[in-house]
Structure 1
Amino acid sequence: MASSTGKHFVTDPKTLVKDSLVGLTIANPHLAFDEKEKVIYTKDLAALRRKQVTLFCGGGAGHEPSHAGFVGPAMLSAAVSGHVFASPTSSQVLSCLRRVYSEEHGTLVVIKNYTGDVLNFGRAVERFKSERVNQGHPLPKVDMVVVGDDVGVVNPNDDEEGGVGRRGLAGTVLVNKLAGTHAANGASLEQVKGTAQYVISHTFTLGCALNAASVPGQGMPRTLNDSEIEIGMGIHNEPGFKKTALKPASELVPGLIDHIIASMPFKKCTGQSKPRVVVFVNNLGATSNLELGLVTKLSAEATRERGYEPERVLQGTYMTGLAMPGISISLLVLPDDDVKRAELLALLDQPAHCAGWVNQTRVEDAGSTDDAARGPATTFTPASDSVWESVIQAGYDSVVAAEPEVTRLDQLMGDGDCGEVLLSGATAVFEASKSQQLPLNDAAAALARISSLVEDSMGGTSGIIYCLFLDGLAQQLHKLGATDRASTTPKVWGKAMLGALDTLYQYTTARPGHRTLIDALQPFASTLAETGDVAQALTAADEGAKATAQMKPKRGRAVYVGHGDGIPDAGAVGLVAVLSGMAKALQ
């Protein structure tokens, strides 16, 4: 079963919507909550009604942050919620409209094109008009717009047959943003409605999902196989227009863009032109931000490649289907007229202050900083040295031989990659030496270069520990004036290694006795600095590594396993393999 779960954080499915809305108000102190009618509204609503056109939206719960998450300055004045995937009743909507209505400026109601919403919101508007007239007031200034941006399930005969039309999807959020910001800027009801209608008629959305979403208290309505994806799945788990084999995102996303621009509504809107667009990438609930970033990249690229220049690209979680593992992509076609296009983009760019909208930060490009990021050029002159080449060769051979055992040990106590990572680093250094790409006539320069190779090839925690130690070792040798082989005696190497350990200790709390490679490295350095005897230092390192078998792990993933239980630390054993190979070549 693909990317789905029937598990939920829930106390009582019957009170989940109310409880969630209470949580929203706790986290967003500008909001107030009418618990009986499930209406979220901005606390300054009484003043807001005197200043501007007010707007509200609503529908079933389960699409969070839609719609309550968009209540705030420059967006919605209020939102009304039904049960999960169910329209609020007309009485709920009427209560919201009464609360929100601006006598002076009027009110715009925005809804998605679903039968329950159209009927309940429509009835509430008509009830409000009737009661106002019956109270002796003039006909209230209330308008309602219905968003239908879906191009996944389209009946080409809707216009002739008076069909239900296209479903309302993430494009509704763009309507709320542009119309809400226009209202906040003092536009009239007619102007705000005009902006909303433009966005409705020029926005085209297609979604897809790896699976349906589990509904709290009900579970999974249906499932897809791991190898399937459904194109056009609705935000209430409605079936899409096709199930197909799951493809790489690099094929899937351009295919979604192709479907949008080939759809009848899009072609009817754009004709033969290639207008500029806003690309709006939406998380349907359970797609990771890591994957969503990829979808955004591919969406923008595919749109541009097809001749539609993205003026803005927005990414976020705006209109969900509970925890649906899927995405939707919307294209908002911008006006051809430069002035009108600039006006619409200004409304989009203007910050809105609410829980759900992601404001784009726009700053002036002050020029490239690439040169600074690269830092000063690292120059060195490759030089061969037969002794050091044989030392590197022997260290590499020793790691190759030890890798299976190091891997086995790490599989028992860690994540199993220690041997492979160590071999990657040793291979990179060996190949650089073999191709004479190291300055082996200068020990400090060679170590600095080796550190860079290790960083690029190893990665992980062990990689950075080696890098920090090698960086410190290079600095210590330079400080000691030990550059050529004659000046780098074993005792000098030992002294430099102790200094390098001090550098390493600035950035890690690992110390001898913590069951890490430090348990082999510290005794090797100390013994070498004291005696100058490589063989004796190697024995100390080997004993230190073996002693880790009885130590309690205090660092790394082995902490979660427990005691060593007679298994030595893989990192310490790997380091001894490196040292023993190098020592063998020096004997």
Structure 2
Amino acid sequence: MASSNRHFISDPTHLITTALHSHTLTNPSLTHHRTNRILSRPPSSTVGLISGGGSGHEPSFAGFVGEGLLSASVAGSLFASPSAEQVSQAIRLVAAGNGGRGVCVVVMNYTGDVLNFGLAVEKAKARGEKVELVVVGDDVGVGREQGGKVGRRGIAGTCLVLKIVGALAGTGADLESVVDVARLVAANTVSIGASLAHVHVPGRDESNEDDLKSNEVELGMGIHNEAGSARLKDADLPTLVKTMLAHLLDQSDKDRAFLKIDSQDSVVLMINNLGGVSVLEMGGIATEVADQLEKSWKIKPVRVLVGTYMTSLNGLGFSISLLKVMDTGLGNGKSMIELLDSPAEAIGWSAPIKKETWTSKRINAAKEQVQEFEVKPANFKIKYARSVTALTSGLRAVIKAEPDITNYDTVVGDGDCGIGLKRGAEGILEMLKDAEPTDDIAIFLDRIIQVVESAMDGTSGALYAIFLNTLAQNIRKQSPDKAEDMQLGIWAKALEPSLSALGKYTPAKVGDRTLVDALEPFISTLSHYGSIDRAAQAAATGAEKTKSMKASLGRSVYVSGERWDTVPDPGAYGLAVFLQGLADGLK
């Protein structure tokens, strides 16, 4: 049973741009910052709240920007996280307008989102800004054993977190209180989804996708088209709902008993449309869920929310979220329920826009300003022409290998790795054409970093951005008082701690089937033998070994294990191709 692969707008870039702009038409207080895909509301002297993620989940997150909810949202490409640079610009924008009250950044637990938003938060802290990151993982569709190091995915329960803390920030609460309540709500929310079909992503060839049969339903379907925990056959709605509620509530299922909810607890029920279910059918689903909750689990929710909050494009499915209402400890007017009930002027929360907003001065045409920062040199000199030649060789090798990388990622991931690497490679090549020559390695690296942060989204973009930022920092730490030539020994001393720095944001090690399987052998071999050719070969060998590995990180953990033996990890393969091209360019 396939969802429609026909679209009124098939160009994904045009689709995202025009969709974001539409919010300024329906709410005239909002501003669309086209370059970084940011949607923001007017500045407020309260704690700022920022969220975002890949496009395709609307009304999350752009539809939640408005008074009483988000200060700003950041949109990535379809089903791919925004870059760290996009998030950084959103943080700067919000922080500059709220008088130093601080910014709370809420993100769903997906590798690319955590890496990119985390990098932006760390950079903001380094600038002296008050910013904290909250990661939401409410999905129980994939249990502890299969989720492993990745943990629970973030899905529609995130919307409850945003609504409650958005209202709390609007009361004038301080950053610490907002962050504490965000984490409290996240820790007491569980969700699970189900779908009758995978969706078609505009602009992407998905003809080889393993779609559901007409008598199957995917239990635990993710919001990026990922497979769930099981495919149920010939399951009617009552059977499906019974299974979903058991996954949410059954304490005997130790693999999924993430939250204990008793009949005496106050509970909020959210039933979310993944985008393709009719309003009529959503009503029938809501009744079935509420009836079973009361009859089988003795739970009568104190609030029931039914609607479209977080979609998977036009996904033919729904999700159930349960929030166990807890004491915020903040006193009268700031309970979870009061904050949930508090009005919000955000079109995605089905709240009416006030008359005063329509008649206020329109600010969405304000010019966007991107801050530029001075780049500090390192006093290590390079041969610019030779460096450009080598880098160009590596980048062209990645572009040539994009079809293979994309094919591998289609088998074991969501198919965007090759496109992301190609986009970054093309961006760097374009930059090199126009850039003024420099013989300083730090300046040369910072130019590359700016392109990576702007052009590469998703997990790979975040990993490369974090690694390159720390690499530049570690090179500067070795900076001499007088100019010296850049030597291999300096690279080795900078590369090893840069690899370690990735551990702050990803637990990936050799053997986890990630790009680290190629990166670590390259660095260790280069340090030991001082040979780039030998190091590149070690990276290629490391990438090849991933064919026999079971994934323990990234979206591949949700893919059936029998596919892993046929292809290498796309990220490791792409990196190995680049490094071999780089080595060839230095000959």
The TM-score bracket by the shorter chain reads: 0.5 to 0.7
Deviation (angstroms), 1:358? 3.0
In the alignment, what sits opposite 1:116? Answer: 112
CA distance in 2 between partners of 1:184 and 1:337 (Å):
15
In the alignment, what sits opposite 2:277? Answer: 287
Please show how residues 425-504 of structure 1 align to structure 2 within 5 Å: none
In the alignment, what sits opposite 2:230? Answer: 242
In the alignment, what sits opposite 1:352? Answer: 344
Given that residues 149 and 203 in structure 1 are in contact (C-alpha distance below 8 angstroms), is that contact kept between their aligned partners in structure 2? Answer: yes
Please show how residues 179-218 of structure 1 align to structure 2 within 5 Å: 179-218=165-204
Count of paired positions: 344
In the alignment, what sits opposite 2:133? Answer: 144
Structure 2 counterpart SS, 1:324? coil
Given that residues 316 and 358 in structure 1 are in contact (C-alpha distance below 8 angstroms), is that contact kept between their aligned partners in structure 2? Answer: no
Q: Which runs of no fewer than 5 residues in structure 1 stay unpaired?
A: 133-138, 361-587
Structure 1 counterpart SS, 2:132? strand
Deviation (angstroms), 1:201? 0.2
Given that residues 349 and 359 in structure 1 are in contact (C-alpha distance below 8 angstroms), is that contact kept between their aligned partners in structure 2? Answer: no
In the alignment, what sits opposite 1:335? Answer: 326
Q: Deviations over 1:34-79 (max 9, x none)?
A: 000100001x22xx1xx21010101110000110000001000000
In the alignment, what sits opposite 1:315? Answer: 306
Letter in 2 for 1:298: E
In the alignment, what sits opposite 2:247? Answer: 259
CA distance in 1 between partners of 2:272 and 2:336 (Å):
20
CA distance in 1 between partners of 2:338 and 2:266 (Å):
15
The verdict on how the C-alpha distance between 1:34 and 1:268 changes in structure 2, with shifts beyond 3 A counting, is: closer
Letter in 2 for 1:201: A
CA distance in 2 between partners of 1:342 and 1:270 (Å):
24
CA distance in 2 between partners of 1:119 and 1:250 (Å):
39
Structure 2 counterpart SS, 1:80? strand
Letter in 1 for 2:289: S
In the alignment, what sits opposite 1:225? Answer: 213
Deviation (angstroms), 1:164? 1.3
Higher RCO structure, 1 or 2 (CA under 8 Å, sep 6+): 2
CA distance in 1 between partners of 2:310 and 2:211 (Å):
21
Q: Deviations over 1:443-490 (max 9, x none)?
A: xxxxxxxxxxxxxxxxxxxxxxxxxxxxxxxxxxxxxxxxxxxxxxxx
Please show how residues 410-429 of structure 1 align to structure 2 within 5 Å: none
Deviation (angstroms), 1:265? 7.9
CA distance in 1 between partners of 2:91 and 2:227 (Å):
33
Please show how residues 373-388 of structure 1 align to structure 2 within 5 Å: none
CA distance in 2 between partners of 1:334 and 1:85 (Å):
31
Structure 2 counterpart SS, 1:320? coil
Q: Deviations over 1:199-248 (max 9, x none)?
A: 10000000000000110011544321111101011100000110111422
Deviation (angstroms), 1:335? 2.5
Please show how residues 549-564 of structure 1 align to structure 2 within 5 Å: none
TM-score by length of 2: 0.56
In the alignment, what sits opposite 1:12? Answer: 11
CA distance in 1 between partners of 2:327 and 2:287 (Å):
25
Deviation (angstroms), 1:258? 1.7
Q: Give the 4+ runs in structure 1 shifted more than 6 A.
A: 336-342
CA distance in 2 between partners of 1:22 and 1:181 (Å):
25
Q: Deviations over 1:305-356 (max 9, x none)?
A: 2122201000110000011100000000112799799811010111111110
TM-score by length of 1: 0.56
Letter in 1 for 2:320: I
Given that residues 153 and 166 in structure 1 are in contact (C-alpha distance below 8 angstroms), is that contact kept between their aligned partners in structure 2? Answer: yes
CA distance in 2 between partners of 1:155 and 1:268 (Å):
9
In the alignment, what sits opposite 2:457? Answer: none
Q: Deviations over 1:152-191 (max 9, x none)?
A: 0122487xx7x11100000111111000000001111111
Counterpart of 2:70 (choices 55, 64, 76) is 76
Deviation (angstroms), 1:28? 2.1
Deviation (angstroms), 1:192? 0.8
Deviation (angstroms), 1:271? 6.9
Given that residues 54 and 76 in structure 1 are in contact (C-alpha distance below 8 angstroms), is that contact kept between their aligned partners in structure 2? Answer: yes
Given that residues 254 and 298 in structure 1 are in contact (C-alpha distance below 8 angstroms), is that contact kept between their aligned partners in structure 2? Answer: no
Letter in 1 for 2:29: H
The verdict on how the C-alpha distance between 1:341 and 1:283 changes in structure 2, with shifts beyond 3 A counting, is: farther
CA RMSD of aligned residues (A): 2.2
CA distance in 2 between partners of 1:92 and 1:343 (Å):
33
The verdict on how the C-alpha distance between 1:287 and 1:343 changes in structure 2, with shifts beyond 3 A counting, is: same
Is 1:87 matched with 2:109?
no
Deviation (angstroms), 1:128? 1.7
Structure 2 counterpart SS, 1:88? coil
Letter in 1 for 2:160: L
In the alignment, what sits opposite 1:270? Answer: 260
Structure 2 counterpart SS, 1:15? helix
Deviation (angstroms), 1:88? 0.6
Structure 2 counterpart SS, 1:109? strand
Given that residues 88 and 120 in structure 1 are in contact (C-alpha distance below 8 angstroms), is that contact kept between their aligned partners in structure 2? Answer: yes
In the alignment, what sits opposite 2:26? Answer: 27
CA distance in 2 between partners of 1:331 and 1:201 (Å):
11
Please show how residues 290-301 of structure 1 align to structure 2 within 5 Å: 290-301=280-291
CA distance in 2 between partners of 1:86 and 1:266 (Å):
27
Q: Deviations over 1:362-400 (max 9, x none)?
A: xxxxxxxxxxxxxxxxxxxxxxxxxxxxxxxxxxxxxxx
CA distance in 2 between partners of 1:278 and 1:347 (Å):
12
CA distance in 2 between partners of 1:355 and 1:296 (Å):
22
CA distance in 2 between partners of 1:73 and 1:341 (Å):
17
Structure 2 counterpart SS, 1:24? helix
Given that residues 33 and 40 in structure 1 are in contact (C-alpha distance below 8 angstroms), is that contact kept between their aligned partners in structure 2? Answer: yes
Is 1:52 matched with 2:46?
yes
The verdict on how the C-alpha distance between 1:337 and 1:126 changes in structure 2, with shifts beyond 3 A counting, is: closer
Letter in 2 for 1:299: V
Structure 1 counterpart SS, 2:348? coil
Q: State the structure with more CA Rg.
A: 1
Structure 1 counterpart SS, 2:302? strand
The verdict on how the C-alpha distance between 1:342 and 1:110 changes in structure 2, with shifts beyond 3 A counting, is: closer
The verdict on how the C-alpha distance between 1:7 and 1:33 changes in structure 2, with shifts beyond 3 A counting, is: same
Deviation (angstroms), 1:31? 1.1
Deviation (angstroms), 1:140? 2.0
CA distance in 2 between partners of 1:277 and 1:250 (Å):
21
CA distance in 1 between partners of 2:32 and 2:311 (Å):
22
